[in-house]
Amino acid sequence: MVTQDSQGGFRLGSGWMVVAAALFALMGLFVKLGARHFSSTELVFWRTLIGAVALGGAALWRRERFSTPLLRYHLQRGVIGYVSLLLSFYAIAHLPLATATTLTYTSPMFLALLSVLLLKEKLPSRAVAGLALGFAGVALLLRPTLSGEVWFAGLMGLASGFLAGWSYLHVRELGRQGEAEWRVVFYFALISTLGGLLLMLLERWHPVTADNVGLLLGLGVTATLAQLAMTRAYKVGRKLTAANLSYLTVVFSSLIGVWMWNDALSPSSLLAMALIVVSGMLASRR
């Protein structure tokens, strides 16, 4: 029997995921605006640096323990997640915001597929149907992209979704091992920051000025708050409901794209996005 308290917790979890979806969409806005001043590598570096400092400082304040016996899993997740984030930011910079966000949100499809290939899990029939719908949606969404000048950005967005799904396999394993949620987020931010610093040794740094520092702060703050809100949503609410509501990021991103850049979405693009969203929902029902 579902009690009133549990229903309140579920509603609270749903609310947190709506907040997280809106913040992730705003993060995409700051990425797209910031791409006029910084490279994708720089944007990822500043985004994760702000997150690492904020989360690390909060952990120090609470006197949390940073040591972990699961460092290998953190390293694997951090490297894969960092490359995924780098490709995602590149796609956002070069594609309409809604298209890039939707490609990134193919991660549940790839998570389900990798669970079968790597972990030998069996998928129910509805998840298999979801994967078929999802890949049909991807083909439909990428068709105009592959025939245009931004085909590379489209493939990078899809690769980002694949790597994000692979990263979530490690996140799931860390959760099974009982790792604290804050350490999962913190070590990802830390490893990504160090990786970005190494890559930036090969690039030219663009100056941070009074005109663009607000974009970096907005990027770091929205990304960190979105991550925390998402973590809270999964902790206090129904995981399946939270996973489904996460696709509101696609809706919010579409609205921002129309508002900021008059992005026009064709009927085929809207159909493709709907197929991918439904696919992710079905793939999550396992």
Give the pLDDT mean for 244-271.
88
Confidence of residue 88 (pLDDT cuts 50, 70, 90): very high
| pLDDT tens, residue by residue, 199-239 | 988 888 899 999 999 999 999 999 989 988 887 787 776 76
Buried b (16+ CB within 10 A) or exposed e, 53-79: ebbbeebeeeeeeeebebeebbebbbb
pLDDT higher than threshold 80 for residue 7: no
Task: Give the CA dihedral 247, 171, 30, 160, nearest 10 degrees.
Answer: -80
Residue 4: enclosing H or E segment and its boundaries?
helix 4-34
Q: Count the Cβ atoms, other than its own, within 10 Å of residue 119.
A: 10
For residue 245, the one-letter residue type is L
- Measured CA to CA, the distance from residue 4 to residue 1 in angstroms comes to 10
- Predicted TM-score (pTM) of this structure: 0.89
pLDDT higher than threshold 50 for residue 5: no
pLDDT higher than threshold 50 for residue 1: no
Residues 6+ apart with CB under 8 A from 276: 102, 105, 106, 109, 134, 137, 138, 141
- Residue 41: half-sphere exposure toward Cβ, Cα within 13 Å: 13
Q: Where are the domains of the chain?
A: 18-284
Alpha-carbon radius of gyration of the chain? 18
